[in-house]
């Protein structure tokens, strides 16, 4: 018995039309690539000329530098950054020296400052401190109320530290920080 050979797809020799179609496709691809290269070089040359003319016009003051138009999202981000920078600048311009000098000049023989948290935007100052006894805490509170820099000094909370033998009092104060204009005459806010 002889072997059976099945050929479901007979091989046909390549036709002349197929070869012509392949050559035409390759030539058209080469032509498109050459045109793209030529257009790219022309565009680069024209861009260089345009930048040169633009630089000459700007140097003569005839044209202002263009502003890049951003998307609405980038414009909002830029506006937020600008607002934050203005806020930081306003905080930096506050008379911090006056506030700290006033706090340093306070009689604190029986009071220790633990934390100062100024908020220039709200014009408030939060003070955490520890006093030897209730009388020292109240005296410190009164002296802050009488200062020119602070007003509406209020006691937020206090706690007697019973774990310690001296039983000091930890307390938090909140005060409005009066920012006065340094150029204003004395007696006028």
172, 156, 146, 90: which is closest to 123 by C-alpha?
A: 90
Residue 150 · residue 140 · CB < 8 Å = no
160, 117, 118, 101: which is closest to 136 by C-alpha?
A: 160
Q: How far apart are CA 20 and CA 28, in angstroms?
A: 12
Q: How far apart are CA 111 and CA 130, in angstroms?
A: 6
Higher pLDDT, 34 or 14: 34
Q: What is the pLDDT of residues 18-63, one digit of tens each?
A: 889 999 999 999 999 999 999 999 999 999 999 888 888 888 877 6
SS3 70: coil
pTM: 0.48
- Pairing between strand 150-160 and 124-131? unpaired
């Amino acid at each position: 018995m002889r072997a059976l050979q099945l050929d479901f797809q007979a091989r046909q020799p390549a036709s002349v039309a197929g070869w012509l179609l392949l050559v035409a496709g390759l030539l058209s691809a080469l032509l498109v690539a050459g045109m793209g290269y030529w257009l790219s070089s022309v565009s680069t040359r024209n861009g260089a000329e345009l930048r040169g003319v633009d630089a000459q016009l700007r140097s003569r003051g005839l044209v202002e530098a263009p502003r890049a138009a951003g998307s609405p999202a980038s414009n909002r981000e830029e506006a937020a950054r600008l607002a934050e920078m203005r806020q930081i600048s306003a905080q930096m311009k506050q008379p911090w020296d006056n506030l700290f000098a006033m706090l340093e000049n306070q009689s604190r023989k029986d009071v220790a400052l633990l934390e100062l948290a100024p908020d220039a935007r709200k014009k408030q100052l939060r003070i955490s401190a520890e006093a030897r006894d209730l009388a020292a805490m109240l005296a410190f509170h009164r002296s802050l109320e009488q200062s020119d820099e602070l007003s509406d000094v209020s006691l937020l909370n206090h706690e007697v530290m019973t774990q310690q033998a001296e039983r000091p009092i930890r307390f938090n104060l909140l005060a409005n920080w009066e920012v006065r204009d340094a150029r204003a005459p004395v007696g006028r806010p």
